Amino acid sequence: MDQRAGGSGGIALIGYGAIAEMHASALAALGRTPVVIAGPDAGQAAAFAARHAIPASGTSVEGAIADPRVEAVILASPSGVHAAQAELALRAGRHVLVEIPLALSSADGEALVGLARDRGLVLGVCHTLRYWEPFDRLHTWLQAEGHVVKHVVARALSLRLENVGWTGRRRSWTDDLLWHHGGHVIDEVLRLLPGAIGSVQATVGPAWEGSGLPMDYAIALRSDAGAIATIALSYNARQGASDYIVITDRDTVVVTGADVRAASGAIVTGLDVAAVQSAAVDAQDQDFLAAIVERRPPIADAASILPVLAVQQRVADQPRA
């Protein structure tokens, strides 16, 4: 394989939704074009291929993964099939980047991590906040200033009473608040809290008749270092919110969108959220491809996601209202 950044092995892209568009753009910025795109509707797959100059398209995920040109697979398919498709790709000897969530149970996630380890393959997960410039700068600031985090308050509130994603595009599948958006929030909270998580308590709202899934969660975490976090998740919110309050032993920081402001002064201001998100996807995909060449775990290595899945599983196991 060519040792240029990201190598030259072929990439299969599975899925043609909004996030697949971002992956295609990120790959184009790296000078890479998938060799094949696959999804359930032949017409939509072909149209996606035409927009991004992808030479082959079809409806067979198995066929795309088995294509002899393919070295790596990016899964941008519905959440419920991530684990099965990742297993299929790993067993075929392909490196895999999976859109969040890696799986819908901690057991399935652990099995995939073990399979990737046994096969010597890179398995990354799109926990994209790990590549966000505002969070990078927050973590650098906390470390440089010697702050000890005591409490994190995080909210991810949106309205998802229809199968419509953040771009307004209708989906053929139902999103899962805990395992998808909750995964982003819990991951960032775990990165901020010192120590491993010991206590997980959660109150789970009733299931929505439209999906059979809970639409509200109140989660409380405590680390073995004594730090705590309170997390609010909702798909019922007519006024959305995505923010983090980080209370340390010496200051308090509020992260809203791409702005990071401490009580003592601004840390990051003036960044465009859409540009930050796009840059994060670019950095994430570049890191994944570089990890293949350099034979190292990516920043969002699946093994490093297992503590997030463990928290999610403990929340999922709570009785529902």
Residues with Cβ within 8 Å of 143's Cβ and at least 6 positions away in sequence, in order, are: none
pLDDT at 163: 55
Written as six digits, the tokens of 65 are 């993964």
pLDDT at 276: 97
Q: Is 209 left (phi over 0), alpha (psi -120 to 50) or beta?
A: alpha
Q: List per-residue pLDDT tens for the chain, 321 residues long.
A: 333 334 558 999 999 999 999 999 999 999 999 999 999 999 999 999 999 999 999 999 999 999 999 999 999 999 999 999 999 999 999 999 999 999 999 999 999 999 999 999 999 999 999 999 999 999 999 999 899 999 999 999 999 886 554 455 555 547 899 999 999 999 999 999 999 999 999 999 999 988 889 999 999 999 999 999 999 999 999 999 999 999 999 999 999 999 999 999 999 999 999 999 999 999 999 999 999 999 999 999 999 999 999 999 999 998 876
pLDDT at 3: 31
**What is the DSSP secondary-structure string of 306-317?**
HHHHHHHHHHHT
Please state, in angstroms and rounded to a whole number, the distance separating the CA atoms of residues 120 and 95: 9
Give, for 43, the enclosing helix (H) or strand (E).
helix 42-51
Please state, in angstroms and rounded to a whole number, the distance separating the CA atoms of residues 73 and 88: 10
Please state, in angstroms and rounded to a whole number, the distance separating the CA atoms of residues 20 and 285: 12
Contact 284, 275 (CB under 8 A): no
Give, for 283, the enclosing helix (H) or strand (E).
helix 273-294
- CA 8 → CA 120, 186, 290, 308, distances in Å? 19, 34, 11, 32
The domain limits of the chain are 10-128+279-302, 130-271+308-316
pLDDT at 241: 94
Task: Give the pTM.
Answer: 0.92
Please state, in angstroms and rounded to a whole number, the distance separating the CA atoms of residues 113 and 118: 9
Of the candidates 296, 307, 258, 260, which has an alpha carbon nearest to the alpha carbon of residue 280?
258
pLDDT at 319: 81
pLDDT at 2: 34
Q: Does domain 130-271+308-316 have CATH number 3.40.190.10?
A: no
Please state, in angstroms and rounded to a whole number, the distance separating the CA atoms of residues 141 and 266: 11
pLDDT at 240: 94
Please state, in angstroms and rounded to a whole number, the distance separating the CA atoms of residues 116 and 110: 10
pLDDT at 161: 82
Check residue 128 and report its DSSP letter. G
Residues with Cβ within 8 Å of 258's Cβ and at least 6 positions away in sequence, in order, are: 132, 133, 134, 268, 271, 272, 273, 276
Q: Which fold has domain 10-128+279-302?
A: Rossmann fold (3.40.50)
